[in-house]
Amino acid sequence: MHSNSRCPVLVTGGAGYIGSHAVLALLDRGWEVAVIDNLTTGFRFAVPPGAAFYEGDIEDGELVARIVAEQNIGAVMHFAGSIVVPESVENPLKYYHNNTAKSRSLIDTLVEAGVPHFIFSSTAATYGSPRVSPVREDSPTQPINPYGWSKLMTEQMLSDVSAAHALNYCALRYFNVAGADPQARSGQSTAGATHLIKVAVEAALGKRDHVSVFGTDYETPDGTGVRDYIHVSDLAAAHVLALEALIEEPSRSMVMNCGYGRGFSVLEVLDAVDRVTNMKIERRMSPRRPGDPPTLIADPSRLRAALPWEPAHADLEQIVTHALAWERRLAEIRESVG
């Protein structure tokens, strides 16, 4: 449908945390962008003025087909879905509906419309509790919760669909996404978010009175869980580069880890927040949460080999600084929105 290298892109879930940063990354690089979001967890203010916005659900095939036609869409970045791991354990059917069944519906509509390129927001939860760290893409995929399964099923669908139809895809498996746009145009805005850095900067600004540390007896240097934190803007940049690679080689599909390949423990992250804010957050030691692996670090060598990706923000204190700036900006936005 599109031979030119810059087709208009539809971003599903573009009013959410990672989706809105992908929209910014695309616009910054001169792409035309349309967003579909049902605003159940996304925010209208997170969609920048340069993007066409449609409020609706990706399961609404008629709406998706209309957007594709109206905007001449040649590629989709798919972020829409549910992402809270403990909730997926309590309410698995919600996750199989929002993440798997709705993705199936979306892919069906796109195949019908002849959209050739698809970037999928996947997750390191597809690996479950990996025995070996850093984790490579050929590590066994054994999710330990419905969230991980719901994403892995979508990856499998994409693999099968790309073999049967003229659609190539890239599934990007995220590790721990953190931080905010360096210009404070977007950030993590969800109330009651569970991401450690978000929680810690809320505590630093007095929005919470403490931070719970879940598990202090892991086999890690300080006993707390170790994670690979990737700056959301570096992650968004990887999506744009992946899209360019798919357009360049229509026969190629890819599955790639997104992380820096180094981990920080919960206590190291809280120490970094203390340094950036020049104060001391109260930490409360709590028992482990079920399903949390002790260490989860990406091996990003496939991503670095396949794409000209050079992270610009691979610095923990910078990630914290940007998260903090966004938290302050969010308070202003909330006041002005009322």
- Known catalytic residues are 147
Please state, in angstroms and rounded to a whole number, the distance separating the CA atoms of residues 95 and 82. 6
Q: Six-digit token pair at 75?
A: 């590629």
Residues forming a β-bridge with 122? 173
Sign of CA dihedral 326, 297, 93, 114: positive
In angstroms, the CA 63 to CA 67 distance is 6
DSSP 8-state class, residue 98:
I
Q: How far is CA 93 from each of CA 87, 89, 105, rounded to the nearest angstrom?
A: 10, 9, 16
For residue 134, whether the previous peptide bond is cis, meaning omega lies within 30 degrees of 0, is yes
Burial of residue 202 (CB within 10 Å: 0-12, 13-18, 19+) is buried
Helix H or strand E encompassing 177 = strand 176-178
Among the listed residues 273, 184, 264, 194, the one whose alpha carbon sits nearest the alpha carbon of residue 229: 264
Q: How many Å apart are CA 100 and CA 77, to the nearest integer? A: 15
- Hey, what are 327's tokens? 């938290």
Handedness of CA 175, 176, 179, 180 (dihedral sign): positive
Beta carbons of 148 and 126 less than 8 angstroms apart: yes
Cβ neighbours of residue 87 closer than 8 Å, sequence gap 6 or more: 94, 95
